């Protein structure tokens, strides 16, 4: 199953890149916030000024979904084209430089998650393939596909269970986590799952099976993926619980923190660079003291946001998703200090923070 990198030679795409992109800005260090919105646009936001410095249109129909970043090469890999392609974006140049096509022939392939190896030499994509017959659809086993970079050539596939929504490679690069109802640990040298970290099936006494929302891969600053969960309280059935589970990508260890009874919805969370705070978002923005394991502050937001991320110095939060704006928030006061307007709504697109110049 060889997949090759297809060159972008269509004149309209080149003209669109020229029209929509901002002038090249040399990076002097700091953060770039990488966002995406309808209609199939990737944004680069300067973390110092919080201004959009690149607006990069992607080829094909659909809208951007998950984004994986490669900070040393200033590249982003974006699920797009109805989730059947991976756009390769040169963030420094401000343009799409290629695509990896996943669907071929009669096999339609949807990408649900992706991650870049720390070496920058491999890209991992979680795929859901279907064989399109003349009179039927044949559901094929889900898989992890490994692509070589920068060629985009398929190197191998690894069987992985269904329902994976986040991929994350350990900082040392020896293993990959595939987050589904539980987290599957893939040994990348041996090319197979060697461990399962229980999430839904964790078996906490007195509680049911946690319902975990895992969509946004925001672990850049700490290599700790924080996920929001709700769970039935079997001791008090009328008081289900809300909390976060933090998975250390270096060690595979998990920490479960119960926060409150469920009376509001939370979509995503992120850990501060100091590892002392967590921030949670949906219609409210919350700060959690991780040392005391309790909610510290909750503020109302002017509208729904799906995803929260944090600057490399821990001083600013970026909250986005859903609508066509990203709010910049002071992490200490939890006050909105700026709104960054985008061309369209972000839906469930990733919001990544890329530290450059180190």
Domains annotated for the chain, with CATH where assigned, are 5-356 (2.130.10.10)
* pLDDT value of position 7: 41
* pLDDT value of position 229: 97
Tally of CB atoms within 10 A around 253 = 11
Q: What sign has the CA pseudo-torsion 314, 294, 259, 176?
A: positive
Residue 170: is its pLDDT beyond 70?
yes
Task: Give Rg (Cα) of the chain.
Answer: 20
Across 47-78, b (16+ Cβ under 10 Å) vs e yields beebebbbbbbbbeebbbbbbbbbbeebbbbb
Residue 103: is its pLDDT beyond 70?
yes
Residue 23: is its pLDDT beyond 50?
no
- Tens of pLDDT, residue by residue over 204-251, are 989 999 999 999 999 999 999 999 999 999 989 999 999 999 999 999
* pLDDT value of position 314: 98
* pLDDT value of position 153: 97
* pLDDT value of position 3: 53
- Tens of pLDDT, residue by residue over 269-298, are 999 999 999 999 999 999 999 999 999 999
One-character DSSP codes across 318-336: EEESBSSEEEEEETTT--E
Q: How confident is the model at residue 356 (pLDDT cuts 50, 70, 90)?
A: confident
One-character DSSP codes across 215-229: -----TTTSEEEEEE
> 61 versus 5: which is more confidently predicted?
61
Residue 69: is its pLDDT beyond 70?
yes
Q: How confident is the model at residue 358 (pLDDT cuts 50, 70, 90)?
A: low
Distance between CA 136 and CA 139 in Å, rounded? 10
Q: How confident is the model at residue 20 (pLDDT cuts 50, 70, 90)?
A: very low
């Amino acid at each position: 199953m060889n997949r090759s990198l297809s060159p972008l030679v269509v004149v309209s795409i080149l003209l669109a890149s020229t029209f929509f992109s901002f002038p090249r800005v040399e990076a002097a260090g700091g953060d770039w916030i990488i966002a995406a919105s309808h209609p199939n646009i990737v944004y680069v936001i300067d973390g110092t000024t919080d201004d959009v410095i690149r607006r990069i249109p992607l080829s094909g129909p659909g809208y951007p979904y998950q984004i994986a970043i490669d900070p040393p090469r200033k590249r982003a890999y974006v699920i797009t084209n109805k989730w059947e392609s991976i756009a390769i974006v040169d963030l420094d140049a401000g343009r799409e430089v290629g695509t990896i096509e996943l669907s071929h022939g009669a096999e339609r392939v949807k990408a649900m998650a992706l991650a870049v190896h720390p070496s920058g030499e491999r890209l991992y994509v979680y795929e859901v393939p279907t064989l399109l017959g003349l009179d039927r659809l044949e559901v094929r086993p889900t898989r992890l596909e490994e692509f070589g970079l920068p060629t985009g050539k398929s190197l191998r596939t690894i069987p992985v269970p269904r329902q994976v929504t986040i991929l994350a490679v350990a900082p040392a690069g020896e293993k990959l986590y595939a987050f589904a109802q539980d987290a599957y640990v893939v040994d990348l040298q041996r090319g197979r799952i060697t461990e399962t970290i229980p999430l839904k099936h964790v078996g906490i006494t007195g509680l049911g099976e946690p319902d975990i929302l895992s969509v946004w891969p925001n672990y850049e600053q700490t290599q700790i993926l924080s996920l929001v969960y709700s769970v039935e309280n079997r001791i008090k059935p009328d008081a289900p619980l809300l909390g976060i589970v933090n998975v250390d990508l270096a060690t595979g260890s998990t920490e479960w923190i119960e926060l409150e009874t469920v009376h509001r919805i939370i979509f995503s969370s992120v850990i501060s660079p100091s590892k002392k705070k967590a921030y949670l978002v949906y219609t409210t923005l919350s700060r959690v003291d991780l040392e005391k394991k309790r909610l510290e502050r909750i503020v109302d937001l002017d509208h729904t946001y799906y995803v929260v991320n944090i600057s490399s110095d821990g001083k600013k939060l970026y909250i986005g998703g859903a609508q066509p704006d990203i709010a910049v928030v002071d992490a200490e006061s939890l006050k909105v200090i700026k709104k960054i307007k985008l061309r369209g709504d972000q839906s469930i697109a990733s919001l990544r923070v890329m530290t450059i110049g180190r």
